[in-house]
Chain A
């Protein structure tokens, strides 16, 4: 885990770093951060508990514990990563461990939106390409340079077209991925909407 953690802010157009592969479909958020670690009122100390039970089971042999992966920042995963609980603690824990971007075959929906909300871009790639990446990464160091604008990942002898929604990409490139400021701009429209909704009226009357 990185000690000099800098949380993402503003425009994100490039992610460069070492890859770390976690193999398995349907890796749920209970595994990413077991529920007992949700007993906290801030996210600060979550990084060291990421995948705690999986790591304990593998006694130092979990990818997150291998010396060569200590400073990795791009996570390579398989299908339906982050399914289950909506806990934002899961991407927060990954981020605080040092993850800056995730490439996977597919993501669970709430996990994906939580990642976007905290500034971790998630990219999709075909099952085959993920397997190629994970194989290349197996016991070897793999550096990737992700270029958001062109949605590609590059390394020596390798160029991959990454999948990312055009709208999501735009948000990262413009720095608008932190939704609150955009939502706040429409305050008067929100107040108008409140007055229009039928149930607001009949619930207020009773």
Chain B
């Protein structure tokens, strides 16, 4: 059993009691809600005649269903309108802070909370969304929950949960030029598999992680769940504190000093014990693309789609399914695979630094005429900042469409969808069958830089050929 890791410390600090069933009752420091997984939870509160225990510990925004072309109300989609209205009503009734469209702070919940300074080291954070692991980048313990647990957090500010084991993933050296956080996490998931993380929290550590910016660290922690780990985190450091400083909801003045003092004490001890440790060399990683129907099915851009016999027996069943669904042959190169749609956005890679990297590649270039490409900023703040830097113009001049913030085609709950068996080059997090809105649509996951390169060429390309060496 792990000892003295950051996970152990934060867990123990938030433990309220041991429950009769054997799980722990854990206090949730920050609860984030959105329109998709909260209405039934509020409904259940009403049915049980319960109140929201600490309304000021829950924060809401709207992201999954929002249109990205025209956000004027009422939305064209009646069901989407009904969902936002329900959230508005619930927040008003229960006195919950709500960052609505037009507030300047709306966006994807996992982009918004960090940029507002709500996400802080040492907190427990829960949200009815599996990518809540994102917030672990700040040294918080953050995990996705289902709607019944959203109800529990609203009613009690706690949840019942079994303590996780801790696996440290130590990343040696540094990522090479043209290789990004997305490539690193895709490689980690490929190496360990999509279910290796079940029952574990992942601690990402080592020089390669230390060297990442906060936004890159969020990309890493965001995709922990794609490796099966409900929670992923990184020990906080100066970069963490500097990111939070002066944010809207960050502690100020004397409170900042107190916060800093406490945050600096929060990290895994040198001699802490892990349930498992995995090491990998980040310098060996190359730009990576998924070829299949799970985020674990990826290869380097210059590699071939694996042959069945190259895979472990456990991976063969899903590989066969993937070849068939994707219409790819084993042994085929992933490079030069023709793409129809290019999507830059999502809670994985829809932040300002992602947009900057992609815009630098697209500057003074035109995208392929056969490609539909669009960029969806992760939040209103990201959009504003991008416009101030002229990034929107670079995207538009290259042929990309510039959209309003939301989750968009990561999961295609709004009208941004693939059509038929289109292939998308996507900076999002899931390449599941049908994920991007068409039952036979195909998704290739890659970094935003690789999406930009694919948009220019109309096919999967090595982004290193586009950037100054």
Within 8 A of B (CB), among A52-95: 53-54, 56-57, 78-80, 83-89, 91
Check if B413 is an interface residue, CB within 8 A of chain A: yes
Provide the residues of chain A in CB contact with B424, threshold 8 Å: none
In the docked arrangement, what's the CA distance between A182 and B132, Å? 25
Stretch at the interface among A103-111, A146-154, A155-163: A103-111
Do A206 and B411 form a contact, CB below 8 Å, given A41-B86, A80-B228? Answer: no
Q: Mark A133-147, 1 if CB is under 8 A from B, else 0.
A: 000000000000000
In the docked arrangement, what's the CA distance between A123 and B160, Å? 20
Q: Mark A98-142, 1 if CB is under 8 A from B, else 0.
A: 000000001111100110011000000000000000000000000
Q: Does B16 contact A193, Cβ atoms closer than 8 Å? A: yes
Nearest B residue (CB) for A112: B198
Within 8 A of B (CB), among A170-189: 170-171, 174, 176-177, 179-180, 182-184, 186-187, 189
Q: How large is the interface on A (under 10, 10 to 19, 20 to 34, 35 or more residues)?
A: 35 or more
Nearest A residue (CB) for B54: A194
Nearest B residue (CB) for A54: B433
Check if B456 is an interface residue, CB within 8 A of chain A: no
Provide the residues of chain A in CB contact with B439, threshold 8 Å: 34, 53, 56-57
Provide the residues of chain B in CB contact with A110, threshold 8 Å: 130, 144-146, 225, 230
In the docked arrangement, what's the CA distance between A168 and B162, Å? 10
Our pick among B14, B226, B250, B437 for the contact of A193 (Cβ within 8 Å) is: B14
Stretch at the interface among B32-40, B97-105, B107-115, B333-341: B32-40
Q: How large is the interface on B (under 10, 10 to 19, 20 to 34, 35 or more residues)?
A: 35 or more
Q: Does A53 contact B259, Cβ atoms closer than 8 Å? A: no
Within 8 A of A (CB), among B145-174: 145-149, 151-152, 155-162
Q: Mark B293-333, 1 if CB is under 8 A from A, else 0.
A: 11000000000000000000010011001000000000000
Our pick among A30, A114, A206 for the contact of B255 (Cβ within 8 Å) is: A206
Provide the residues of chain B in CB contact with A87, threshold 8 Å: 36-37, 146
Our pick among A31, A166, A180, A200 for the contact of B151 (Cβ within 8 Å) is: A180
Least Cβ–Cβ distance between A106 and chain B, in angstroms: 6
Do A109 and B432 form a contact, CB below 8 Å, given A38-B413, A41-B43? Answer: no
Q: Does A170 contact B199, Cβ atoms closer than 8 Å? A: no
Query: Interface centre among B64, B146, B259, by most A CB within 10 Å?
Result: B146
Do A86 and B21 form a contact, CB below 8 Å, given A193-B16, A194-B54, A202-B258? Answer: no
Check if B253 is an interface residue, CB within 8 A of chain A: yes
Q: Does A190 contact B318, Cβ atoms closer than 8 Å? A: no
Check if B434 is an interface residue, CB within 8 A of chain A: yes
Our pick among B16, B147, B162, B293 for the contact of A186 (Cβ within 8 Å) is: B16
Q: Does B27 contact A190, Cβ atoms closer than 8 Å? A: yes
Nearest B residue (CB) for A171: B21
Check if B25 is an interface residue, CB within 8 A of chain A: yes
Do A86 and B317 form a contact, CB below 8 Å, given A106-B195, A170-B22, A199-B122? Answer: no
Do A26 and B195 form a contact, CB below 8 Å, given A108-B228, A206-B256? Answer: yes
Within 8 A of A (CB), among B429-457: 430, 432-435, 437, 439-440
Q: Does B433 contact A31, Cβ atoms closer than 8 Å? A: yes
Stretch at the interface among B76-84, B178-186, B232-240, B384-392: B76-84
Least Cβ–Cβ distance between B331 and chain A, in angstroms: 22
Least Cβ–Cβ distance between B148 and chain A, in angstroms: 4
Check if B254 is an interface residue, CB within 8 A of chain A: yes
Q: Does A206 contact B251, Cβ atoms closer than 8 Å? A: yes
Q: Does B194 contact A190, Cβ atoms closer than 8 Å? A: no
Check if B29 is an interface residue, CB within 8 A of chain A: yes
In the docked arrangement, what's the CA distance between A117 and B25, Å? 14
Nearest A residue (CB) for B44: A180
Check if B176 is an interface residue, CB within 8 A of chain A: no
Q: Does B255 contact A203, Cβ atoms closer than 8 Å? A: yes
Q: Does A109 contact B83, Cβ atoms closer than 8 Å? A: no
Q: Does A199 contact B432, Cβ atoms closer than 8 Å? A: no
Q: Does A30 contact B145, Cβ atoms closer than 8 Å? A: no
Query: Interface centre among B21, B25, B27, B80, by most A CB within 10 Å?
Result: B21
Do A184 and B156 form a contact, CB below 8 Å, given A108-B198, A110-B130? Answer: yes
Q: Does B155 contact A106, Cβ atoms closer than 8 Å? A: no
Within 8 A of A (CB), among B389-446: 411-413, 430, 432-435, 437, 439-440
Do A113 and B413 form a contact, CB below 8 Å, given A39-B83, A200-B29? Answer: no
Check if A42 is an interface residue, CB within 8 A of chain B: yes
Given A106-B195, A110-B146: 16 more A-B contacts, CB < 8 Å: A38-B413, A78-B317, A83-B294, A86-B128, A86-B130, A88-B40, A107-B198, A110-B225, A168-B21, A171-B21, A177-B21, A186-B158, A190-B27, A190-B53, A190-B158, A203-B259
* 8 A–B pairs (Cβ distance < 8 Å), ordered by A: A31-B434, A39-B77, A41-B86, A42-B40, A114-B149, A176-B20, A187-B53, A205-B251
The list of the 6 closest CB pairs from A to B, nearest first, reads A167-B22, A117-B148, A114-B146, A88-B146, A53-B439, A86-B144
Enumerate chain A interface residues (CB-CB to B < 8 A). 24-26, 28, 30-31, 34-36, 38-43, 53-54, 56-57, 78-80, 83-89, 91, 106-110, 113-114, 117-118, 165-168, 170-171, 174, 176-177, 179-180, 182-184, 186-187, 189-190, 193-194, 197-203, 205-206
